[in-house]
Copies of this chain bind each other. A is one copy, B any other.
Amino acid sequence: MRADTGLLSPGWAGTALDDLLDDRAWLSAMIAFEVALARVQAGAGIAPPHAADVIAAAADPDRFDWRRLVADVRETGNPVVGFVAQLTALVRAVDPEAADHVHLGSTSQDVLDTATMLVCRAVLRRVRDDLRRTAAALAGHARAHRDTVMAGRTLTQHAVPITFGLKVSGWLSGVLDAVDRVERVLDGGLPVSLGGAAGTLAAYREFGAGGGLGLVGPLAAELGLAAADVPWHSTRTPVVDVAAVLAFTSGALGRIAVDVAVLTRTEIGEVAEGAAPGRGASSAMPQKRNPVRATAITAVARQVPALVSVLHQCAVVEDERSAGGWHAEWQPLREALRSVGGAARNAADLAAGLVVFPERMRANAALTGGAIVSERLAVALVPIVGKAEAKALLTAATSATGDLPDVLAGMLRERGHDGDRDRWRALCDPAGYLGAAGELVDRVLERHERLSPA
């Protein structure tokens, strides 16, 4: 059985997420739950002390019959029933007494939801680290290009000048916001699931005084997860919180990617992705160097919002366990984790390798011959001709052919005003109309330093 190895997923292919997210990873996480459960039940005097170790030793993912596991998913509706059957058999072959304590008092949803939280934790930690690497690389660009002038663009048109440092600071600001939100979830937002068949913990309790509610805290401690107040089988707060940070991160990285794609255009050429042999190659056109990291991240950013919308729909579940709502959650969550995990890794790589061409930025900013600072010229004209006339004059001047400062000076002279070409030429220098760009870069860099681990 070879299913999705990434062939159709440039968004995460080759980013080494398989070990954290494939079916085997989920199986391992389910095993971790069962081992931890046996351990805390032993602590509570319900299970024999050695049962957990026996289960851990017997539960080798490679010894499971995968075809059977998958067939059982169809017949029982979830991966746990078949998993428990096989796990029990594996343990029974070694130690029948321990086998009697496998999954004791437990329910499918406790196993799978806890396993999901373990997987989320592993992926979100990796995402956080990659976001930090991304942020560090972006901070480097922001610092280096604090004062590199380029065209600011709105609705595809040159608007007013900005600096590349400011643009990167916007990117960085979003990445830092993402780090913040990922950390908030890692810090207490991933709880163990322990409720039993319908959330009363009745079966766990049945086996002795230490059972039931008293198991939640120790189990959480054993697995390094949080302990929820109340079973969350049909209260999907943890999943929705994870969904929120995945959507957030997808957006924060996606907007960098589409910006890079624009700046990489043949006609613009202000940045390029880092080169490597074969990277960005075409099957037919030797000259092509495609922005593949940006493309991969964009592909993710187009998919994650829809995957997250499924998770939001799946918060709307009926009964103590939904007939379909719970089941629809698993694969979109995995795909979203995988996509964002891939995007974060690719973003770190993209940021680290990004090549910047300040001369092209300068040349492009000059393309409109001064019209890029027409906002400033308008302000300068107001004291001379009044507000309404200023706008009309500029609209005419920017539509006319010829060098803008010249044209404008000429128009002013025609109207009997002082038309000093040099003054208007000086005002037309994009580098003179950068507003607070530098200070804004400094602010974001300060925030970055504040948040960076020592």
Q: Can you list 23 A-B contacts (CB < 8 A)? A: A2-B3, A10-B74, A11-B328, A13-B70, A108-B282, A153-B319, A153-B320, A153-B321, A155-B319, A156-B261, A156-B291, A161-B200, A201-B436, A237-B252, A251-B316, A254-B315, A258-B317, A259-B318, A261-B323, A266-B367, A267-B268, A298-B325, A299-B324
CA distance A324 to B291 in the complex (A): 10
Count of chain A residues near B, Cβ 8 A: 186
Q: Is A412 an interface residue (CB 8 A)?
A: no
Please state the number of chain copies in the assembly: 4
Give chain B residues whose Cβ lies under 8 Å from the Cβ of A434: 200, 202
In the complex, are the beta carbons of A315 and B251 less than 8 A apart?
A: yes
Residue of B nearest to A437 (CB): B200
A169 is contacted by which of B74, B230, B364 (Cβ under 8 Å)?
B230
Give chain B nearest CB distance to A454 CB in angstroms: 22
Q: Is A331 an interface residue (CB 8 A)?
A: yes
Interface members, chain A 230-267 (any B CB < 8 Å): 230-237, 240-241, 243-244, 247-248, 250-252, 254-255, 257-259, 261-262, 264-267
A235 is contacted by which of B174, B291, B309, B376 (Cβ under 8 Å)?
B174
In the complex, are the beta carbons of B231 and A251 less than 8 A apart?
A: no
Give chain B residues whose Cβ lies under 8 Å from the Cβ of A50: none
In the complex, are the beta carbons of B375 and A203 less than 8 A apart?
A: yes
Q: Is A125 an interface residue (CB 8 A)?
A: no
Give chain B residues whose Cβ lies under 8 Å from the Cβ of A335: 331, 335
Q: Is A417 an interface residue (CB 8 A)?
A: no
